[in-house]
């Protein structure tokens, strides 16, 4: 069994959907296909939720009409056969009627994920019928039957596995199963989501649950690059990364992969392949436990970082001071990304500021507090990266650009720099020149 996941841009048009069909049917053996909503649809549904909160019926109707027309247009392009087209349109009409019922009710926060997951339901139904109309047998699975994920951080694979096995046993056997990414059932048995970009995570949870041979994540870029191609020219695709390297890059800003994707398959040693839907013959990136080389591999950046400094003479030789500080963040369920300490000060970073005011109120009792927002973490990644002979050049940045914090040691694969976001692009370009340009590359 293989698990193939296709993102929103991969299924964003009728032409793209035809392309996905070719990719799937050209691969032999059993497979579970995990699909996102069409590109732009989830954004529209997010807007729908916002206007639902405000009770703005006219704007909601406009959004619904745009979504309706988008899916009708795709169906019209995909189905030359009028009977298959009419059957598909009729079901989509019924689903839009269900969505209309939801947004016609009184607003309730529990309805938000119900609304947001309609995009995946629309697309998976259309895609299943499209395959069927072309003579490709497949079985459409409802992810809500088996994606019972109570904890986003630590999904219980055994629960998902048991429910998936039960679902597959009662459905018609097929070489191709199609299901929705992004959606889950939470610990309250409510429809919920794996957060934006969570279809990658869906794919690896499913792969771990069924003991898949491999996971393929198809997107619109040919694998991980050694720097962010949105800001830096002449970046290079990496042929291979370890699970640890990929996890570091994803967590620290590489947009190609959801940050938690690696976790479910790492211990089960199920490789992940990142592939480009629009150039399927390109090698892409393989993510596995195999270490093909050591040293520098790639650079990524994570925005939206807030730095907090706690300065206090009470820290000097004080036992238990750090534990008290960490307890404040734990109490308010806020994770810490980076931390550095001196005899009388702690500097740390967070990317979730929802409870920042509450945290600061408690921290004021421990010393003088300084808060700096609009920062970015630049992450320099590679297996045993500190042993790379050229890595010393990162410190040349200090000559030209202020660096707020430097962290190494928490992972042998990562050196992190905290910088003002205004300097991020300049730093990415500078690091690219210092660390990659005019350098003999090892096999990656």
> Known binding site for ATP: residues?
5-8, 219-220, 230
User: Which residues are CB-contacts of 436 (< 8 A; sequence separation ≥ 6)?
Assistant: 226, 227, 236, 296
Taking the C-alpha atoms of 115, 120, 121 and 127 in order, what is their torsion angle to the nearest 10 degrees? 160
User: Which residues are CB-contacts of 127 (< 8 A; sequence separation ≥ 6)?
Assistant: 11, 17, 20, 33, 35, 178
> Known binding site: residues?
5-8, 42, 120, 219-220, 230
Distance CA 160, CA 141 (A): 14
| pLDDT score of 441 | 46
Q: Is the CB of residue 257 less than 8 Å from the CB of residue 249?
A: yes
Q: Which residue has the tokens 């706690």?
A: 310
| pLDDT score of 408 | 85
| pLDDT score of 289 | 95
Distance CA 112, CA 114 (A): 5
Domain with CATH 3.40.1160.10 in the chain: 2-220
| pLDDT score of 313 | 78
| pLDDT score of 440 | 47
CATH code for residues 2-220: 3.40.1160.10
> Known binding site for substrate: residues?
42, 120
Element containing residue 322 per DSSP (H, E): helix 321-331
Domain with CATH 3.30.2130.10 in the chain: 298-435
| pLDDT score of 443 | 39
CATH code for residues 298-435: 3.30.2130.10
User: Which residues are CB-contacts of 321 (< 8 A; sequence separation ≥ 6)?
Assistant: 312, 314, 315, 366
Q: Is the CB of residue 288 less than 8 Å from the CB of residue 243?
A: yes
Residue 157 tokens read as 């694979």
Distance CA 226, CA 334 (A): 30
| pLDDT score of 437 | 80
Mean pLDDT by 10 residues, the chain (444 residues): 97 97 96 98 98 96 98 96 93 98 96 98 98 96 98 95 96 95 97 94 98 97 93 94 94 87 96 96 95 93 96 73 92 94 90 96 93 96 89 88 88 91 96 80 42
Q: Is the CB of residue 301 less than 8 Å from the CB of residue 257?
A: no
Q: Is the CB of residue 2 less than 8 Å from the CB of residue 27?
A: yes
Residue 310 tokens read as 């706690």
């Amino acid at each position: 069994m293989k698990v193939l996941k296709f993102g929103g841009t991969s299924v964003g048009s009728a032409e793209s959907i035809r392309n996905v069909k070719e990719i799937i049917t050209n691969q032999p053996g059993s497979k579970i296909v995990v699909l996102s909503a069409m590109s732009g649809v989830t954004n529209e549904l997010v807007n729908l939720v916002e206007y639902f909160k405000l009770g703005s019926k006219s704007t909601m109707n406009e959004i619904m009409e745009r979504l309706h027309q988008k899916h009708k247009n795709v169906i019209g392009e995909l189905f030359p056969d009028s009977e298959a087209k009419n059957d598909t349109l009729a079901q989509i009409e019924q689903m839009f009627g269900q969505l209309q019922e939801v947004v016609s009710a009184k607003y309730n926060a529990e309805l938000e994920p119900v609304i947001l997951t309609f995009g995946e339901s629309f697309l998976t139904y259309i895609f299943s019928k499209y395959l069927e109309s072309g003579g490709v047998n497949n079985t459409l699975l409802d992810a809500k039957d088996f994606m019972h994920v109570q904890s986003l951080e630590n999904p219980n694979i055994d629960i998902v596995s048991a429910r998936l096995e039960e679902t597959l046993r009662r459905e018609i056997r097929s070489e191709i199963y199609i299901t929705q990414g992004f959606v889950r059932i939470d610990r309250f048995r409510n429809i919920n989501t794996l957060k934006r970009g969570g279809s990658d995570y869906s794919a690896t949870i499913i792969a771990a649950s069924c003991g898949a041979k491999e996971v393929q994540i198809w997107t619109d870029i040919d694998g991980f690059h050694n720097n962010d191609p949105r800001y830096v020219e002449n970046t290079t695709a990496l042929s291979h990364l370890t699970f640890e390297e990929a996890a570091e890059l994803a967590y620290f800003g590489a947009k190609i992969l959801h940050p938690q994707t690696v976790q479910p398959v790492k211990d089960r040693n199920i490789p992940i392949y990142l592939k480009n839907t629009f150039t399927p013959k390109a090698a892409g990136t393989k993510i596995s436990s195999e270490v093909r080389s050591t040293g520098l591999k790639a650079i990524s950046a994570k925005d939206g970082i807030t730095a907090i400094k706690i300065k206090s003479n009470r820290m000097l030789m004080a036992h238990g001071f750090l534990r008290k500080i960490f307890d404040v963040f734990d109490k308010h369920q806020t994770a810490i990304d980076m931390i550095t300490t001196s005899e009388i000060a702690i500097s740390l970073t967070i990317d979730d500021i929802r409870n920042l005011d509450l945290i600061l109120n408690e921290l004021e009792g421990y010393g003088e507090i300084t808060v700096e927002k609009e920062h970015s973490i630049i992450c320099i990644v590679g297996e045993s990266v500190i042993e790379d002979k050229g890595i010393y050049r990162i410190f040349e940045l200090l000559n030209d650009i202020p660096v707020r914090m430097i962290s190494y040691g928490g992972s042998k694969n990562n050196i992190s720099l905290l910088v003002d976001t205004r300097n991020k692009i300049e730093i990415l370009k500078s690091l690219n020149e210092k660390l990659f340009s005019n350098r003999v590359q090892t096999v990656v």
